[in-house]
């Protein structure tokens, strides 16, 4: 028809468009040269009319494939521009109108618009914006969609937007769910908020050996720990599956489930698991089992990450100074973890064991931390007076070593009546010295019948020269004849050092005073000289 002279221009254009659709060669594609020109089509046909049928079909298929790719790219670009405009519009709308817009998009039967609405809802949550009631209602309706991916998206959004409300509905939705991926998301909600009557459905998902198995085990654990599990047969089924996942596939929730159901013998082997998370969960789960204590400590010697579990186990079964010593001999993952583990054990030691354990502290700061709880009425109520006095004395000594004089005084003031001088005479003496109450300190020394050597050591620790001189004077008065030659030499050295320091402090002040006096005399001298000149 393109050959005829009588064919009108409009008819030729219609024929060209038909050829474009049939061949997949619209204007603008490589080789198209505009595509709607009749002369071009005649030349194109002349070159191909003898082409074998197979080659012809392959060519047409290739052209259509290229056309489809171009149309798809254009569609994607158009959608992206449109989505960008909608996102900008969403950000500009008031809160109420945003809710309406999102709800309308999510309710759309067109998947493209629905996905845009879900994407905007997801972005809002990531920006810490709450979703409006209309949006939540629209998302909730999608939990009944026939499409697994749509249900999964709706469930995940509800979990983020309203975890408490989602957890309450998750059990109901789970009853009719058949997709493992969606069930896994629902089971995580059930684990947070378990409810009765779900034993069988949980056992089925545990046995499914799908993506939902691990979340189902975690949900089962939550029900057991909440004392909601009533079906012992279903629990046996769950435990059987969990045991079958040892050692390669078991996860920490499965470990805890075996522990709460009393499967300790099967668990101990997992202390040697190559997976650190499983070994740690196992050690924590076995911490309350007395028969597992030695196995946990043995495993902790080889794996520093089990230090906290070892601390917990010792805290349950060996609350003694020896227990602290054993814990300190173990390696730990880092200093912070080590400090937490040691403190956790020390804080549960009985009073007498705490007093024995402080010798294992690596410095005075740690010793003071361990002993901090002895300065409480609760500690005093639980310990006998003798133990309380020893503990408070050790605390005061540690605080003095840290130069916390006021803290030492507070500890000493809590000593049981009548036991202060017997247990803490030296600590009282040094505290009073440091506070500058020198005479009171030596009165205490007399009352506590302290030896000269003990008093001298405390005086040597003074950092104030004035206090040192006063203390040296009273030390000689109190112990003059009792001081050995070596002690007298130390006292003399103390006295000389204190005097030299005081002298060194005074010298700059005297020099400054002399300079001030000189500056004051100069004008008078000039005045006298001027007066003499006038007389002449």
**In sequence order, what DSSP letters do the residues of 392-432 get, joined into one string?**
HHHHHHHHHHTT-HHHHHHHHHTSPTT-HHHHHHHHHHHHH
Residue 2: its pLDDT value, please? 56
CA–CA distance, 186 with 264 (Å, rounded to integer): 30
Residue 199: its pLDDT value, please? 96
Q: Does any domain span residue 57?
A: yes
Q: Which of 73, 93, 112 is the last residue of a domain?
A: 73
| Angstrom distances, CA of residue 126 to CA of 26, 80, 301, 314, 516 | 44, 21, 43, 43, 72
Q: Which of 51, 73, 95 is the last residue of a domain?
A: 73
Q: Does any domain span residue 30?
A: yes
Q: Of the candidates 279, 278, 274, which has an alpha carbon nearest to the alpha carbon of residue 250?
A: 278
| Angstrom distances, CA of residue 489 to CA of 410, 411, 448, 454, 455 | 35, 34, 25, 16, 15
CA-based torsion, 410, 413, 415, 416: positive or negative: negative
DSSP, residue by residue, 188-243: HHHHHS--TT-HHHHHHHHHT-STTHHHHHHHHHHHHHTT----HHHHHHHHHHHH
Q: Does any domain span residue 465?
A: yes
Taking the whole predicted model, whether its pTM rises above 0.85 is answered as: no
Q: Radius of gyration of the chain from Cα atoms? A: 44
Residue 254: its pLDDT value, please? 96
Q: How many domains does one find in the chain?
A: 2
Residue 5: its pLDDT value, please? 57
Q: Does any domain span residue 478?
A: yes
195's tokens: 């409810």
Q: Does any domain span residue 314?
A: no
Count of beta carbons in the 10 Å neighbourhood of residue 368: 24
Residue identified by tokens 């619209």 is 26
Residue 131 DSSP one-character state = P
Residue identified by tokens 């002449």 is 536
The tens-digit pLDDT sequence of the chain (536 residues) is 555 556 777 887 788 778 777 887 765 444 444 545 777 777 888 888 888 888 888 888 888 888 788 778 877 777 777 777 787 787 788 888 989 999 999 999 999 889 999 999 999 999 889 999 999 999 999 999 999 999 999 999 999 998 988 998 999 999 999 999 999 999 999 999 999 999 999 999 999 999 999 999 999 999 999 999 999 999 999 999 999 999 889 999 999 999 999 999 999 999 999 999 999 999 999 999 999 999 999 999 999 999 999 999 999 999 999 999 999 999 998 999 999 999 999 999 999 999 999 999 999 999 999 999 998 878 877 888 899 999 999 999 999 999 999 999 999 999 988 776 778 999 999 999 999 999 999 999 999 999 999 999 999 999 999 999 999 999 999 998 889 999 999 999 999 999 999 988 887 665 565 666 655 554 444 455 444 444 44
For residues 145 and 118, is the Cβ–Cβ distance under 8 A? no
Length of the chain: 536
Q: Which of 38, 73, 108 is the last residue of a domain?
A: 73
Residue 191: its pLDDT value, please? 95
Angle among Cα 527, 533, 536 to the nearest 5 degrees reads: 145
Inter-residue long-range contacts of 236-240, CB under 8 Å, 24+ positions, other chains counted: 237/203, 237/206, 237/207, 238/202, 238/203, 238/206, 239/263
Q: Does any domain span residue 326?
A: no
CA–CA distance, 255 with 251 (Å, rounded to integer): 6
- Owning domain of residue 496: 451-518
Show Cβ contacts of residue 298 under 8 Å, excluding neighbours closer than 6 positions. Answer: 271
Inter-residue long-range contacts of 401-410, CB under 8 Å, 24+ positions, other chains counted: 401/364, 402/364, 402/365, 402/368, 404/368, 405/431, 405/434, 405/435, 407/368, 409/435, 410/375
CA–CA distance, 28 with 168 (Å, rounded to integer): 58
Residue 373 DSSP one-character state = G
Q: Does any domain span residue 41?
A: yes
Residue 451 DSSP one-character state = -
The alpha-helical segments, DSSP class H, found in 25-179 are 38-48, 53-92, 95-107, 111-126, 133-141, 148-161, 163-175
CA–CA distance, 14 with 11 (Å, rounded to integer): 5
Residue 66: its pLDDT value, please? 83
* Burial state string for 50-61 with b = 16 or more CB within 10 A and e = fewer than 16: eeeeeeeeeeee
Q: Does any domain span residue 119?
A: no
């Amino acid at each position: 028809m393109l050959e005829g002279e009588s064919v009108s221009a409009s008819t030729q254009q219609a024929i060209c468009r038909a050829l474009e659709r049939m061949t997949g060669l619209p204007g603008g594609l490589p080789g198209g040269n505009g595509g709607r020109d009749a002369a071009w089509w005649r030349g194109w046909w002349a070159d191909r009319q003898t082409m074998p049928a197979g080659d012809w079909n392959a060519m047409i298929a290739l052209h259509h494939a290229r056309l489809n790719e171009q149309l798809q790219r254009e569609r994607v670009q158009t959608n992206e521009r449109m989505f960008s405009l909608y996102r900008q519009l969403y950000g500009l709308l008031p809160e109420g109108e945003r809710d309406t817009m999102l709800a309308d998009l999510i309710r759309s039967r067109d998947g493209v618009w629905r996905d845009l609405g879900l994407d905007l809802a997801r972005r809002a949550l990531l920006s810490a914006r709450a979703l409006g009631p209309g949006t939540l209602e629209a998302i909730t309706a999608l939990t009944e969609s026939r499409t697994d991916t749509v249900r999964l998206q709706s469930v995940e959004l509800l979990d983020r937007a309203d975890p408490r409300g989602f957890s309450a509905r998750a059990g109901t939705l789970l009853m009719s769910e058949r997709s493992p991926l969606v069930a896994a998301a629902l089971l995580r909600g059930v684990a947070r908020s378990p409810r009765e009557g779900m034993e069988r459905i949980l056992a089925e998902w545990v046995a499914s050996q799908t993506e939902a198995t691990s979340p189902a085990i975690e949900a089962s654990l939550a029900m057991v720990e909440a004392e909601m599990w009533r079906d012992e047969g279903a629990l046996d089924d769950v435990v059987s599956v969990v045991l079958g996942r040892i050692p390669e596939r078991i996860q920490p929730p499965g470990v805890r489930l075996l522990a709460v159901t009393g499967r300790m013998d099967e668990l101990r082997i997992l202390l040697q698991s190559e997976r650190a998370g499983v070994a740690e969960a196992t050690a924590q789960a076995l911490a309350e089992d007395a028969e597992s204590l030695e196995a946990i400590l043995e495993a902790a010697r080889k794996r520093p990450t089990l230090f906290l579990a070892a601390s917990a186990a010792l805290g349950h079964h060996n609350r003694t100074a020896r227990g602290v010593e054993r814990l300190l001999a173990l390696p730990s993952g880092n200093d912070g973890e080590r400090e937490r583990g040691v403190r956790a054990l020390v804080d549960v030691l009985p009073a007498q064991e705490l007093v024995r354990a402080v010798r294992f502290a690596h410095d005075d700061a740690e010793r003071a931390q361990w002993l901090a709880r002895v300065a409480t009425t609760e500690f005093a109520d639980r310990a006998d007076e003798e133990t309380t006095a020893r503990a408070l004395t050790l605390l005061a000594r540690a605080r003095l070593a840290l130069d916390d004089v006021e803290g030492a005084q507070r500890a000493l003031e809590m000593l049981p009546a009548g036991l202060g001088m017997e247990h803490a005479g030296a600590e009282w003496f040094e505290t009073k010295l440091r506070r500058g109450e020198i005479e009171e300190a030596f009165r205490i020394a007399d009352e506590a019948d302290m030896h000269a050597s003990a008093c001298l050591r405390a005086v040597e620790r003074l950092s104030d020269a004035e206090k040192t001189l006063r203390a040296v004077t009273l030390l000689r008065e109190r112990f003059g004849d009792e001081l050995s030659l070596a002690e007298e030499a130390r006292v003399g050295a103390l006295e000389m050092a204190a005097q030299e320091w005081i002298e060194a402090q005074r010298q700059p002040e005297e020099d400054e005073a002399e300079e001030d006096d000189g500056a004051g005399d100069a004008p008078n001298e000039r005045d006298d000289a001027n007066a003499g000149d006038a007389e002449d």
